[in-house]
């Protein structure tokens, strides 16, 4: 478990800040947010969603404790829209803290506890469960919910098709050259799992480093689930990379469809 905290005043303390959260979560099973900072709570929620682990939060201002798990169809954003007003309460911090610890253990034991919210009514914590409208479709992950439409077939490639290309001349019926692989994930993601031989240029550095790549060579760009790589593909195409494609489903699809021995996150 890891506790989320807002940006520190000194640089010696690890914190949840934009662009520096993934490496903190590689070994975590759950995020417990007691930051008291709304921006940190949304960041913790999104990081937990991408990592595929539950979030338990304590909001002392609102007198609330809750559990969310994006993979179970409910995250903090489902329960609390950004900028929603907060009604201050006098809920005792020790009661909230104890309830959060108990709820964290409960959601680890039973992920179905996601959507549980306990709110202070002035005397006790009252529990309710979030019920999603089954008539409203909701994909399971944050990246799926924020993805952009897939490019056409000429600009994308599946994991099995890429595996055949990488096998080169040993694969009958394949007459395309072996493409360069471009990994646009962040360094902690690459250190956790990678594809051999891939060139690593994080998405945020790609505009400045695009000159390191050959625009005339076949290229396949990939990320975690295909969201960042799809955006990177657009950048590459605008820069004249006419033979660039992106890996549909990212390295996660490769782990599922090609090499199940790879770790997933």
Active site residue ranges: 223
Question: In this structure, how many other beta carbons lie within 10 angstroms of the beta carbon of residue 214?
Answer: 11
Half-sphere exposure of 215 (CA within 13 A, CB side): 11
* Distance (Å, whole) CA 70 – CA 53: 8
Q: 134-155: b or e for each residue (b if 16 or more CB lie within 10 Å)?
A: eeeeeeebbbeeeeeeebeeeb
Residue 230 CB contacts under 8 Å (≥ 6 apart), including other chains: 147, 148, 150, 151, 246
> Please, what is the end-to-end C-alpha distance for the chain in angstroms?
15
* Strand pairing category for 64-68 and 244-247: unpaired
Rg (CA), the chain: 22
Say if residues 64 and 120 touch (Cβ distance below 8 Å). Answer: yes
Q: What is the DSSP string of 184-199?
A: -S-HHHHHHS--TT-E
* Distance (Å, whole) CA 238 – CA 201: 17
């Amino acid at each position: 478990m890891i506790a989320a905290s807002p940006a520190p005043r000194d640089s010696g303390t690890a914190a949840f800040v934009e662009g520096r959260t993934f490496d903190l979560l590689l070994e975590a099973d759950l995020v417990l947010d007691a930051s008291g900072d709304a921006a940190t709570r949304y960041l913790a929620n999104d990081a937990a969603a991408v990592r595929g682990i539950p979030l338990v939060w304590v909001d002392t201002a609102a007198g609330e404790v809750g559990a969310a798990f994006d993979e179970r169809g409910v995250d903090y954003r489902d329960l609390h829209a950004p900028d929603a007003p907060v009604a201050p309460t006098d809920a005792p911090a020790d009661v909230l803290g104890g309830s959060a610890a108990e709820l964290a253990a409960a959601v680890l034991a039973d992920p179905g506890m996601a959507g549980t919210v306990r709110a202070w009514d002035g005397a006790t914590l009252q529990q309710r469960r979030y019920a999603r409208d089954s008539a409203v479709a909701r994909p399971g992950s944050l990246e799926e919910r924020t993805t952009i439409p897939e490019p056409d077939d000429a600009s994308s490639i599946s994991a099995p098709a890429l595996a055949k290309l990488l096998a080169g001349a040993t694969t009958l019926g394949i007459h395309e050259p072996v493409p360069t692989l471009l990994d646009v994930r962040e360094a902690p993601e690459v250190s956790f799992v990678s594809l051999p031989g891939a060139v690593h240029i994080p998405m945020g550095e790609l505009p400045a480093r695009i000159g390191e790549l050959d625009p005339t060579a076949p290229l396949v760009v990939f990320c975690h689930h295909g969201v960042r790589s799809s955006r990177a593909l657009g950048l590459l195409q605008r820069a004249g990379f006419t033979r660039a494609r992106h890996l549909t489903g990212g390295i996660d699809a490769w782990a599922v469809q090609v090499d199940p021995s790879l770790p997933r996150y």
